[in-house]
């Protein structure tokens, strides 16, 4: 049985950041990831919006928190951030939960750039009630994946275990005893050829996002009230709209904007990005089968690689977004990624995306990190 000061479960950006932060304080940390590689799920498959607040006119708390962390995230990840695109926010004439003056007041309150644009050759003002030039950046999830994978794999004090699924957690005095199943016989030479590992630790950090409740339950902790959606991010190109972004607020609209520095635009729509919804606290979908060991409600898999993933809605998203542009602006869909998006049920009305970090057990200790947005990784430091 190996002993670690901390065991972090989940190798997305939150798990990686937590492991690096703890190892930086001198701790010996095990980072467990169910899949063969880190960063395969929400930390890779997202819209890559470096949130500055604009997106949350119904949740001032989320908007203020986004703005609070934007500067530090940007400064510490400069090489992975696209600073040089023109970003527009717009209000749809029909069915929006906000209106131009409310949106302007909201931006003024947050003190973020918002300049009204009354004419523009690319946009259709018959459909847009108002268009604003704003300042928003986009991080590059693929570059972040490379950066964090490399960092945790070479950091002093961190041992990374991939293909490692936690099976059982039992308290033994002030420590947890964890039983871990590994699907491959040898973990990068770090362990002998074995398919099961035992770790002992006083502190566990659950950073598994869509699997939050499944892992909490192994530790006897209560569920967070969550909903889950299978979400699609479509990747498109556009000769005329290259290097620009548009997000239409606030309601069942959509967004097309640079996916970091890749040269692609990510396309999503509130109405069509989400294919299936699970109101269960675990991500339970009809595409999961009992015979698939890689994807169950208790251990969700990688949707992009799944043969039962939904048929793409990209053409519906494009049809919706096309209405906001003049006819000269064309888009071409190249491919899509899919993943599970998990949300707190409490944010159904305000659409907020807080990052909730809580201590669910005092001794032995269990922390649960449920992430709302990438640039809130620093919340980890306030709690751990």
Q: State the residues that interact with ligand FAD by CB under 6 A.
A: 9-15, 32-35, 40-43, 45-49, 51, 165-166, 207-211, 215, 231, 233, 299, 339, 341, 371-375
**How far is 335 from 45, CA to CA, in rounded Å?**
12
Beta strands at 274-278 and 332-344: parallel, antiparallel or unpaired: unpaired
> Per the structure block, which two tokens stand in for 313?
């809605």
131 versus 180: smaller Cβ distance to ligand FAD: 180
Question: Nearest distance from residue 99's CB to ligand FAD, in Å?
Answer: 24
The DSSP secondary-structure symbol of 372 reads S
Question: Nearest distance from residue 110's CB to ligand FAD, in Å?
Answer: 17
249 versus 371: smaller Cβ distance to ligand FAD: 371
**CA 228 from centroid of its chain's CA atoms:** 12
CA distances from 310 to 230, 287, 314, 317 (A): 8, 9, 11, 14
Surface-to-core class of residue 183, CB atoms within 10 Å of its CB (0-12 exposed, 13-18 middle, 19+ buried)? middle
129 versus 356: smaller Cβ distance to ligand FAD: 356
220 versus 239: smaller Cβ distance to ligand FAD: 220
Instruction: Give the residue among 120, 124, 45 at the shortest CA–CA distance from 92.
Output: 124
211 versus 318: smaller Cβ distance to ligand FAD: 211
Neighbours of 308 (CB within 10 A): 13
Residue nearest to ligand FAD (CB): 12
Question: Nearest distance from residue 146's CB to ligand FAD, in Å?
Answer: 15
> Per the structure block, which two tokens stand in for 126?
């018959």
Question: Nearest distance from residue 327's CB to ligand FAD, in Å?
Answer: 28
Residues 98-116 as b/e (b if ≥16 CB within 10 A, e otherwise) read: bebeebbebbeebebebee
129 versus 287: smaller Cβ distance to ligand FAD: 287
Question: Nearest distance from residue 215's CB to ligand FAD, in Å?
Answer: 5
**How far is 11 from 197, CA to CA, in rounded Å?**
18
Question: Nearest distance from residue 341's CB to ligand FAD, in Å?
Answer: 3
Between the two ends of the chain, the Cα-to-Cα distance in Å is 25
Question: Nearest distance from residue 257's CB to ligand FAD, in Å?
Answer: 9
Q: Is 59 helix (H, G, I), strand (E, B) or coil?
A: coil
Residues 117-128 as b/e (b if ≥16 CB within 10 A, e otherwise) read: eeeeebbbbeeb
Question: Nearest distance from residue 134's CB to ligand FAD, in Å?
Answer: 15
Instruction: Give the residue among 63, 103, 66 at the shortest CA–CA distance from 250.
Output: 103
Q: Is 359 helix (H, G, I), strand (E, B) or coil?
A: strand
10 versus 258: smaller Cβ distance to ligand FAD: 10
104 versus 298: smaller Cβ distance to ligand FAD: 298
Question: Nearest distance from residue 287's CB to ligand FAD, in Å?
Answer: 16
**How far is 332 from 23, CA to CA, in rounded Å?**
44
59 versus 339: smaller Cβ distance to ligand FAD: 339
Q: Residue 283: beta bridge partners?
A: none
């Amino acid at each position: 049985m190996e002993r670690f000061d901390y065991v972090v479960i989940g190798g997305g950006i939150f798990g990686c950041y937590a492991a690096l932060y703890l190892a930086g304080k001198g701790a010996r940390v095990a980072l467990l990831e169910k899949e063969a590689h880190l960063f395969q799920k929400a930390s890779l498959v997202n819209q890559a919006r470096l949130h500055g607040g604009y997106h949350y006119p119904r949740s001032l708390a989320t908007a203020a928190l986004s703005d609070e962390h934007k500067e530090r995230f940007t400064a510490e990840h400069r090489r992975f951030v696209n600073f040089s695109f023109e970003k527009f926010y717009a209000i749809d004439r029909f069915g929006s939960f906000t209106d131009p003056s409310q949106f302007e007041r909201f931006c003024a309150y947050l003190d973020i750039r918002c300049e009204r644009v009354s004419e523009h050759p690319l946009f259709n003002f018959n459909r847009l009630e108002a268009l604003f030039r704003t300042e928003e950046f986009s991080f590059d999830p693929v570059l972040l994946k490379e950066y964090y994978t490399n960092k945790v794999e070479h950091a002093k004090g961190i041992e990374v275990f991939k293909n490692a699924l936690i099976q059982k957690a039992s308290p033994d005095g002030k420590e947890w005893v964890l039983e871990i199943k590994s699907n491959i016989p040898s973990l990068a030479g770090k362990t002998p050829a074995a398919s099961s590992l035992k770790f002992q630790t006083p502190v566990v950090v659950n950073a598994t996002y869509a699997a939050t409740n499944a892992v909490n339950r192994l530790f006897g902790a209560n569920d967070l009230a969550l909903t889950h959606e299978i979400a699609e991010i479509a990747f498109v190109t556009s000769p005329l709209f290259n290097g620009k972004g548009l997000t239409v607020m606030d309601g069942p609209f959509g967004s097309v904007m640079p996916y970091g520095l890749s040269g692609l635009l990510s396309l999503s729509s509130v109405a069509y990005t989400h294919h299936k919804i699970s109101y269960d606290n675990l991500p339970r979908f009809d595409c999961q089968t009992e015979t698939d060991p890689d994807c169950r409600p208790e251990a969700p898999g990688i949707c992009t690689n799944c043969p039962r993933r939904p048929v793409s809605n990209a053409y519906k998203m494009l049809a919706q977004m096309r209405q906001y542009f003049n006819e000269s602006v064309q888009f071409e869909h190249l491919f899509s990624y899919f993943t599970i998006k998990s949300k707190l049920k409490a944010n159904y009305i305000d659409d907020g995306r807080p990052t909730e970090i809580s201590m669910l057990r005092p001794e032995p200790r269990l922390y649960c990190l449920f992430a709302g947005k990438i640039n809130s990784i620093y919340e980890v430091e306030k709690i751990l």
